[in-house]
Amino acid sequence: MPAAKSKATKLDVVIVGAGVGGLYAVHRLRKLGLKVRAYEAGSGVGGTWFWNRYPGCRCDVESMEYSYSFSNELQQEWKWPERYGTQPEILRYVNHVADRFDLRRDVQLDTRIRSATFDSKANLWTLKTDKGETVTAPFCIMATGNLSTPRTPSIPGLKSFKGKWYHTGLWPHAGVDFTGLRVGVIGTGSSGVQMIPHIAKQAKHLYVFQRTANFSLPARNAPLDPEKERKHKAEYPERRRAAYDTPFGIAGFPPPEKSALEATEEERRHAYAAKWAEGGSISYLYAYNDLLVNKASNDTASEFVRERIRATVKDPKTAELLCPTDHPIGTKRLILDTEYYETYNRDNVTLVDIRSAPIKAITPNGLHTTDAEYTLDAIVFATGFDAMTGAMKEIDIRTDKGATIEEKWADGPRTYLGIMMAGFPNLFMVTGPQSPGVKSQMILSCEQHVDWIADCLQHLRDKGLQRIEPEKAAEDAWVQHTNEVADSTLYPLANSWYTGANIPGKPRVFMPYVGGVTAYKKKCDEVAARGYEGFMLAV
Ligand code: N01
């Protein structure tokens, strides 16, 4: 007997993803009296913090900052034990938020959205899930995350490998015990650098396969100082507001006034040493006001870190391999670590340069580079993500007018404010490409986007409007502005996931907006205040 055709679930707003952004969208939109539901592929909430469970996983933004601001009671009551939150702590926090605000009743787990199609006559999005369900809603919000599509490189022979292999972004919930094993880690971005010191302590031998060296600074993690916590909490509302007046959405870092080239060599050394001792990436990049825009200034900051690497790593050949030379410091995500460079002084750790001798194949017993063979019991891919566009492009997003996300973003993403796309009415994104999302405190940006979307939906309702879509001209102008801002900095000089350079064949376009949170929020607020300037609104 054929299965009964199931009825569609009808919502006011369908949300894709129940990470930090999707959960807040559930909370905020429910307060408007809207019927909402978030669909989440994972078996729990938390997005990136649900999936990335590798040893040593920790946020590189301080915990008092990296948290929701929408409830003062929440931020006053929650207690972060350390300066930087670990993945289990952050996941516990997100679950607490889901319980505290009763969000779970509008979250459907273990459900991946496969397609989203817009009917322009009915002004209706129809989404299909991997479970065969159909969901309809006039509005759709993609809260799919920027680093949620893990990529494992296609190295020949992986299937033949007799040991176990893992990707940092799809880590087993039960954890992995590397005790006594010969382990290979491929990749030295934030994930690799965080996990390598932990795996080194367990493994019989750890081989780190490095293609490109990255800059990493000491995090200087420590238990949270109770007096600092008390003061921060007393100032919370003001600090949260002040965060919007900063480039990265994090208050407490006075903007530097001087160029690195205006300082003497001795002054610079003193300044960089103080920042190195303090820990943290914004602090370091704020040593001078031109480190991200002036190559000569940046060279001084980059060289200081290379000197620290040479001073830390005992074997000069290994130290030199760990010194980044292909990009200015800060133009890739600046990594924070705990004893990363020190780890290479251990007898059971070997750095393998796969730039000069690339990986040829994975074999049943390990891995072959062009000049050697490595016997391995486990391989860890710390090889990153199809960032910023990957998660949306995995969903077949299209309209009945023939627009598809595949074509729309064929040459790189095009958006208006990173919130909407011309040709795709009533489809919102939380921290989409061409917004400051990944270049800011992500939770602040998620809240700012969701608040903007909520205000927009309220506006449409107040005016009796059913539909909103960016004008193509407004989108073109925003894309051009985003590119111009990026081109006035050093960012495009790096082969990073910001530019799509980490994915073979991906168009090379600088995707985040780097004009800063202040300028961006001002623009978003102005657009709304002018009756949604640059958008077409219709009944
Ligand atoms: O990924 P990545 P990630 N063969 O893309 C190498 C956030 N995050 O997961 O540079 C050999 O940075 C690649 O080499 P190369 C954070 O925003 C935050 O580490 O392409 N190697 C590189 O070394 C971060 O930036 C936190 O030459 C290959 C590495 O794999 C972002 O997530 C923690 C290869 C990938 O580095 C992504 O970080 C973790 C191949 N075929 C992540 N392909 C915190 O909050 C790739 N690589 C602290």
Angle at 414 between CA 476 and CA 508, to 5 degrees: 110
- So what's the pLDDT on residue 292? 97
Task: State in Å: Cα 496 to ligand 1 middle.
Answer: 9
Which amino acid residue places its CA nearest to atom 45 of ligand 1?
59
Which amino acid residue places its CA nearest to atom 7 of ligand 1?
190
- So what's the pLDDT on residue 3? 45
CATH number among 3.50.50.60, 3.20.10.10, 3.40.50.620, 2.60.120.10, domain 158-215+261-381: 3.50.50.60
Task: State in Å: Cα 333 to ligand 1 middle.
Answer: 9
Residue written as token pair 């992500």? 442
- So what's the pLDDT on residue 35? 98
- If DSSP codes are grouped into helix, strand and coil, which group holds residue 61? strand
Q: Tell me, letter by letter, the H, E, C secondary structure of 477-523.
A: HHHHHHHHHHHCCCHHHCCCCCCCCCCCCCCCCCCCCCCCHHHHHHH
Nearest partner of 13 among 413, 392, 460, 448, judged by Cα? 460
Indicate whether residue 51 lines ligand 1 (CB < 6 A): no
| 463 φ/ψ angles, rounded to the nearest 5 degrees | -95, 0
Class of domain 9-149+387-465+513-533: alpha beta
- So what's the pLDDT on residue 4? 45
Atom of ligand 1 nearest to the CA of 355: 27
Residue range 63-83, pLDDT digits in tens? 999 999 999 999 999 999 999
Q: Which residues of the chain have pLDDT under 50?
A: 1-4
Amino acid identity for residue 173 in this structure: H
Domain boundaries, the chain: 9-149+387-465+513-533, 158-215+261-381
Task: State in Å: Cα 214 to ligand 1 middle.
Answer: 10
Atom of ligand 1 nearest to the CA of 501: 20
Task: State in Å: Cα 483 to ligand 1 middle.
Answer: 23
Task: State in Å: Cα 169 to ligand 1 middle.
Answer: 10
For a pocket test of ligand 1, which of 82, 171, 383 has the largest count of ligand atoms closer than 8 A to its C-beta?
383
Do 158-215+261-381 and 9-149+387-465+513-533 have the same topology in CATH? yes
- So what's the pLDDT on residue 5? 55
Atom of ligand 1 nearest to the CA of 193: 19
Q: How far apart are CA 100 and CA 450, in angstroms?
A: 19
